[in-house]
Amino acid sequence: MKKIGLTLLLLFTIVQLSTAATVKIGMVTTLSTKAGYLGEDIRDGFALAIEQGAGTLGGIPVELMVEDDGRKPEKGKQIAERFIKKEKAHILTGIVFSNVAMAVVPKVVRQNVVYLSTNAAPSKLAGKGCNPNYFSVSYQNDNLDEVVGQYVTEAGHKTAYLIAPNYPAGKDHLAGFKRFYTGKIVGEVYTKLGQSDYAAEIAALRAAKPEAVFFFLPGGMGINFLKQYAQAGLSKEIPVYGPAFSFDERILKAVGPAALGVKNGSQWTHDLDNAANVEFVKAYQEKYGRMPTLYAAQGYDTARLIGSALKAVKGNIEDLDAFKAELKKADFASVRGNFSFGVNQHPVQDVYIREVIETENGGYTNKTVKKVFSNHIDAYAAECKM
């Protein structure tokens, strides 16, 4: 009788899952411009999780719709509106850049649609602008810079020169570094978003004679800066530091030896020794033929988080309060290991320093050096009044 009862229960569960309505997920991301690979990796990490679930997340059928925002806030708004109004998307995700996020996310969450960030996490959405419909699965923008500020202080550098693009994330990232760096800032420069020539900035930096340089220049911007910095002969004179965004696996392939030995901050690296990460890195390499980046890991984690919540509510996405409550539990195995949500629905997680090293086949990758922060909470959580 027990065996028959168990069989009936399993059959009932299968029928329940098979009849669940397809949950539509709209991904607004950057697939063009020199930063297009960032969105590609987010999309590919997310899609891998769906493939592993045979077209489902948490056993619930999902449809992933992906469109390119071209790194343009207005285009991002148009895509998001179409996903919500025309396609009836239940969940939105995928934005890479904070200026796009600031244009899109506040309007999305006001329409009672859940947005989960796979990357951009500006401070305005972490503090007073927090919202019950907004979850950051990546970090808060400042986090990966705070760990570098702490490390550069511990390394004994008395002066530092800072460079970042002039947009919300650029300002957040430099603020994060300064929050934990106790030395003197001898230069703070904001460049044009998408800038490719850094000759003037490098000349000014040389004249300032800092003991260290901290920069946040994601995607192609970071590639150009690192190459030009090395060509100017400064890489051997003044050490460079930054967050992981300028030292991911695909940037390192383009930059080459100019990045060797650079220390950078991250909440994830492919060498983190936990079961979920080992499985993810292996599966991603087999599927796409390349090492996953931070962006791919964040896309994958976001999909798996969604799956955990969908499974708990049996696919009933219409019960939005129940779905959000399950998201808040973060009941999934993150590739980062420790992962939970703070009061503002941003991650509480460990943060590391990595070093760029040469691989056996002559390529370049990151190696985890040390954990600097454990269960790190972002600086804006106390301002959130949810």
Closest CA to 268 of 378, 354, 180: 354
What amino acid occupies position 383? E
Closest CA to 118 of 84, 94, 153, 141: 94
Closest CA to 138 of 169, 165, 160: 169
- Cα separation, 284 vs 281, in Å, equals 5
Q: What is the CA radius of gyration of the chain?
A: 21
Q: Report the predicted TM-score, pTM, of the whole model to 2 decimal places.
A: 0.91
What sign has the CA pseudo-torsion 167, 170, 176, 181?
negative
Q: Which residues pair with 264 in a beta bridge?
A: 242, 354
What amino acid occupies position 141? N
- Cα separation, 289 vs 227, in Å, equals 26
Give phi and psi for 345, each to the nearest 5.
60, 40
pLDDT of residue 8: 40
Closest CA to 261 of 353, 352, 355, 354: 355
3-state DSSP call for residue 371? strand
- Cα separation, 99 vs 78, in Å, equals 14
- Cα separation, 343 vs 159, in Å, equals 35
3-state DSSP call for residue 283? helix
A 10 A CB-CB count for 147 gives 28
pLDDT of residue 57: 98
Closest CA to 381 of 342, 340, 348: 342
pLDDT of residue 143: 96
Q: Which two tokens stand for residue 359?
A: 């691989």
Q: Are strands 159-165 and 184-191 parallel, antiparallel or unpaired?
A: parallel
3-state DSSP call for residue 322? helix
- Tell me the pLDDT of the chain (386 aa) as tens digits: 444 444 444 444 444 444 468 999 999 999 998 889 999 999 999 999 999 999 999 999 999 999 999 999 999 999 999 999 999 999 999 999 999 999 999 999 999 999 999 999 999 999 999 999 999 999 999 999 999 999 999 999 999 999 999 998 899 999 999 999 999 999 999 999 999 999 999 999 999 999 999 999 987 898 999 999 999 999 989 999 999 988 988 889 889 999 999 999 999 999 999 999 999 999 999 999 999 999 999 999 999 999 999 999 999 999 999 999 999 999 999 999 999 999 999 999 999 999 999 999 999 999 999 999 999 999 999 999 98
pLDDT of residue 18: 45
Contact 20, 315 (CB under 8 A): yes
DSSP H helix total and E strand total for the chain: 12, 14
